[in-house]
């Protein structure tokens, strides 16, 4: 089930000059040859975020548990690095998320004036997990989105399976948001709602 934070969408949009300044702070750039986002999906209506200083709406995926470790994805629409920081700060206001073992993050923002992407990732102690999430966003051609996958470690080492769970949780939430097609094997994942995040 999908839940979301409250979101105000009546603020002024930032100017093209502000977007230009934002893109000057690129931490990593790649050439843009991506497809346009779909405008036909009803799910995309939740992404009517402005380019203001308000924290964007945060969507929370269904938790998935394997051998006592629980994973949960969170997603928001972002167009500036400031919004990336705001999303992370807002998410960590939740005590369970803030106290989680890992909060792995990746984001991609398309800068039209430079025809390139502002993108970055954070492993948060889970080696290579952030770069794998970023690679997922790249191969799925996702733009203007931040994805965070939270892991609560259950005491049993999962080995390489943990990376599969990070990506599957992220892909599943992207699917629920209408941003990507779901793979057949993802439909077979069993979820267990041990951790629920209340609406803010």
Is there a domain that residue 91 lies in? yes
| Relative orientation angle of helices 129-139 and 161-176, to the nearest 10 degrees | 40
CATH of residue 90's domain is 3.30.230.30
Q: What is the pLDDT of residue 39?
A: 29
Is there a domain that residue 36 lies in? no
Distance CA 71, CA 64 (A): 5
pTM exceeds cut of 0.85: no
Q: Give the pLDDT confidence of 18-72 residue by residue, as tens digits.
A: 444 444 443 333 333 333 333 223 333 333 334 446 889 999 999 999 999 999 9
Residue 49 corresponds to which tokens in the numbers above? Answer: 């975020």
Is there a domain that residue 94 lies in? yes
Residue 79 corresponds to which tokens in the numbers above? Answer: 């167009």
Residue 162 domain boundaries: 43-188
Is there a domain that residue 22 lies in? no
Q: Give the pLDDT confidence of 63-103 residue by residue, as tens digits.
A: 999 999 999 999 999 999 999 999 999 999 999 999 999 99
- Count how many domains the chain has: 1
- Give the angle 90-92-97 at the CA atoms, nearest 5°: 135
CB 118 within 8 A of CB 109: yes
Q: For residue 192, give every residue at least 6 positions away whose Cβ sits within 8 Å of its Cβ, in sequence order, or none.
A: 63, 64, 65, 70
Is there a domain that residue 1 lies in? no
Residues present in the chain in total: 200
């Amino acid at each position: 089930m999908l839940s979301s934070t409250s979101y105000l969408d009546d603020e002024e949009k930032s100017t093209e000059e502000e977007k230009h300044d934002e893109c000057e702070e690129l931490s990593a750039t790649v050439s843009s040859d991506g497809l346009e986002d779909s405008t036909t999906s009803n799910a995309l209506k939740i992404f009517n975020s402005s380019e203001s200083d308000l924290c964007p709406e945060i969507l929370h995926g269904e938790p998935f548990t394997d051998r006592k470790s629980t994973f949960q994805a969170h997603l928001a629409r972002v167009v500036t690095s400031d919004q990336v920081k705001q999303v992370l700060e807002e998410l960590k206001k939740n005590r369970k998320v803030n106290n989680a073992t890992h909060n792995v993050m990746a984001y991609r923002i398309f800068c039209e004036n430079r025809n390139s992407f502002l993108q970055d990732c954070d492993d948060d102690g889970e080696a290579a997990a952030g770069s794998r999430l970023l690679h997922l966003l790249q191969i799925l051609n996702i733009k203007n989105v931040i994805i965070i996958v939270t892991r609560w470690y259950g005491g049993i080492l999962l080995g390489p399976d943990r990376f599969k769970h990070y990506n599957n949780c992220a892909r599943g939430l992207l699917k629920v948001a209408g941003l990507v097609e779901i793979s057949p094997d993802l439909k077979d994942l069993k979820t267990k709602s041990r951790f629920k995040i209340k609406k803010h």
